[in-house]
Chain A
Amino acid sequence: MASRQHVAMTGNEAVAHAMRQINPDVVAAYPITPQTDIVQFFSQFVADGVVKTEFVTVESEHSAMSATIGAAASGARAMTATSSQGLALMWEMLHIASGYRLPIVMPVVNRTLSGPINIHCDHSDTMGALTTGWIQLYSESAQEAYDNMIQAVRIAEHPDVQLPVMVCQDGFITSHGIENLEVLSDEEVAQFIGEYKPVYSVLDVNRPITVGPLVLPDYLFEMKFQQAKAMEAARRVILEVGKEYGRLTGREYGFFEGYRLEDAERVIVVLSSTAGTTRVVVDELRRKGEKVGLLKPRVIRPFPASELREALSHARAVAIMDRAETFSTQGGPLFCEIRAAFYDAPERPLMRNYIFGLGGRDVGTSQIEKVFADLAADLARGSVKTPVSYLDVRE
């Protein structure tokens, strides 16, 4: 494609389109609902010869991630894609990808983890992977999924970062819904991501190395420290890449997006597609004169604690919505981390948590209206009555 185009695509199609333009050296993947058509579209590109990618069909996601790791260690730009159980089956390899510092980019189409088995959206899959050492970007729409894919390559491969990135979108809601989006030309993408220069390659005969040796107590700790430092560096790189992408496309990306947030007294914090629903309710309530707003995190690994604290500092009541349960009985993962970010703040808004949308339970405007109404009741009372509640569950 020689020029930018406005196209109608599903989230999965948009991601596959980005992968075609990125033109990775290796893709090893296994199909799983609702990720399947990313791989299906991409394998068509391979069959049509429009990418130079070596496409490896494997027998499981464990093998998919293993083959991707092998390819990346050999200096290839390597990718895979997954959802839910597939991500779970990759688990030990997720840590190996990040521990070996391989800049793999992996779209993840969020789906409930079994059991019971369910194919619909929640965030239990990627929220479980918060400690795997992967950078996580969340996308509200097909446009954001596309944009995040292109940026993810640059973030992952930055010499100061060298970490794998998950690009998440909501299963079915985003992955299978058709949207209008703007895609860059192939040349623009090629130029933006640039030529890949691997930091190391096991196939470089002039610089022989060993990948994956035993590392004992005398050095493993230092290597985990390096990884933590790389995550810290990713905070800077994510912002730099987001700005540069903004200059190219007019769509600048940061750690999160605020919507009518500046003067909002009551704020909902929510990831991905539910942010769209929340935006509609914010507009409705604003028309009635209510000071409500939205904060939609995009990056939660690394966790932008100080920036979130700053952005929410003027709010009086905040509802943090988690589409995943941790069973700690103390609330979802976003809630716990955002609340912790306020520990040292001189002033803290009232904060409450909603676990919502598990197993693909729909969240409509009426549920979001209820959350804003609950926040109003908390403010009137001056305290939070139920810090953790379950939105729209039949108790």
Chain B
Amino acid sequence: MTELKSAKDIPIGGIIASPGNSRSYRTGEWRSQRPVWIPEGCVHCLICWVYCPDSAIEVEDGKMKGIDYSHCKGCGICVRECPRKEKALRLERES
């Protein structure tokens, strides 16, 4: 859980006073299902990275590295677009 601040500790008027703070806003908590990556079946085509609307596919040195569950909203687009389908990405219900 993101730690919630009290009324005394937030700016007035709903303004966002710290630019770029969406990084620390854990939208992944909204998820009802999660994509699960199976590295053995992945061919690193990065189609999932292209399609993910939340930049939640983590890539290093041109290779798929995993999923950022702090921001992945579980939309399932990556699973649908993955050419390897069930072999590389699977959608599971969030517990």
Instruction: Give me the interface of A with B, judged by CB distance under 8 Å.
Output: 99-102, 162, 199-200, 207-213, 215, 218-220, 222-223, 225-226, 229-230
Contact = CB atoms under 8 A, between A and B. Distances in A.
Contacts, number: 54
B15 A219 contact: no
A70 B86 CA distance: 51
Interface in B1-24: 2, 4-7, 10-17, 19
Interface string B42-64: 00000000000000000000000
Contacts of A219: 4, 10, 14
Nearest to A230: B12
A199 B12 contact: yes
Contacts of B10: 219, 222-223, 226
B92 to A, nearest CB: 26
Interface size class of B (residues with CB under 8 A): 10 to 19
Interface of B: 2, 4-7, 10-17, 19
A229 B6 CA distance: 13
A207, A210, A225: most-surrounded residue (chain B CB, <10 A): A210
B4 A102 contact: no
User: Chain A at the B interface: mostly helix, strand, loop or mixed?
Assistant: loop
Contacts of A215: 14
24 contacts: A99-B14, A100-B14, A100-B15, A101-B12, A102-B13, A162-B12, A200-B13, A208-B19, A209-B11, A210-B15, A211-B13, A213-B14, A213-B15, A213-B16, A215-B14, A218-B4, A219-B10, A219-B14, A222-B5, A222-B6, A223-B10, A223-B13, A223-B14, A226-B12
B15 A200 contact: yes
B7 A226 contact: yes
Contacts of B5: 222
Contacts of A229: 7
Contact of B13 (A101, A207, A208): A101
A212 B16 CA distance: 8
A305 B4 CA distance: 34
Contacts of B12: 101, 162, 199, 223, 226, 230
B11 A200 contact: yes
A162 B4 CA distance: 24
Given A222-B6, A225-B7, A200 B14 contact: no
Q: What 5 A-B pairs have minimum CB-CB distances, sorted nearest first?
A: A101-B13, A210-B16, A222-B7, A100-B13, A101-B12
